[in-house]
Amino acid sequence: MRKALLWILALLVTLASAVYQRMTGPTYPLRGKTDIAGTTLSWRLPRSADSVRDCEITISGVASGVSGYLEYRRHKTDDPWTRVDMSRSGDALAAALPKQLPAGKLAYRVILAADGRETALNGGLPAVIRFKGEVPAAVLIPHILIMFLAMFFSVRAGLAALGRTENPRRLVVLTCAALFIGGFLLGPVMQKYAFGAFWTGFPLGSDLTDTKTLVAMIAWLAALAAGRKGKPARGWVLAAAVILLIVFSIPHSLFGSELVHPPR
């Protein structure tokens, strides 16, 4: 019964981590509400798009007397802003951002107008969208599932290390295997599809996602080595579990691959 409760607790922590990852990070959509034309408008601004097609920015639920336009330029450049008027379809206004090379970024703003007054979404602060190559589902889905499986085994191993009745050795092996397959076999393949490089973290670059995966792998390999000959190595296992939990708390894609735009 106690072991069953520990597995359930490990699952709950893993699911909470998955939700947190889904709601944070620089590639997840900006969301907010803006008062305009006597109504409160809920909006969503994407910050990630495929590089094979233009990215349509759509604002839904817009009152009939409201118009809008989109402004964009290449991120971290002094390019002039390019303006695109938004077209209406029913209660939605839409305009498209031009596709960019993988890892290319655009800064963009959405401005709505009613009764001769303009209102910029997100307080006028530009959203930054990053384009990426398409990743096959056969790579993306297993990568995500196995990485969260690694988190699941890691939390369960940490809980086992806290007690004195269960040897976490088998869980350490499972965590290392899942972390290696998800982070060092499938991860680089996904990175290659998305941004044209297998590895962009330390020591080759500043991609924090790759680097934090490396840190977690080193921690778990240390725990694996400390537990040779079947020793519990509880302190090492608990430390590795905490490190992986911290790693998963760092927003995904922070300091990720970024194309440096040449001056025009």
Q: DSSP string spanning 80-123? A: PPEEEEPEEETTEEEEEEPP--TT-EEEEEEEEEETTEEEEGGG
Beta strands in the chain (DSSP E): 30-36, 39-45, 48-50, 55-59, 67-74, 82-85, 87-89, 92-97, 105-114, 117-120, 127-132
> Is residue 212 very low, low, confident or very high in pLDDT (cuts 50, 70, 90)?
confident
Residue 27's H or E segment, with its range, is none
- Read off the pLDDT of residues 179-189 as tens digits, 9 standing for 90 and up: 999 999 999 99
pLDDT of residue 201: 76
pLDDT of residue 37: 81
Cis peptide bond prior to 203, omega within 30° of 0 = yes
Residues in the chain, total: 264
- 243, 179 contact by CB (below 8 A): no
Which residues are within 8 A (CB) of 214 and not within 5 positions of it... i.e. 6 or more apart?
Answer: 201, 202
> Domains of the chain, with CATH numbers?
2-24+136-249 (no CATH), 37-132 (2.60.40.10)
For residue 93, report the phi and psi dihedrals to the nearest 5 degrees: -110, 140
Give the Cα separation of 154 and 148 in Å (integer).
9
The predicted model scores a pTM of: 0.82
Give the pLDDT mean for 232-245. 93
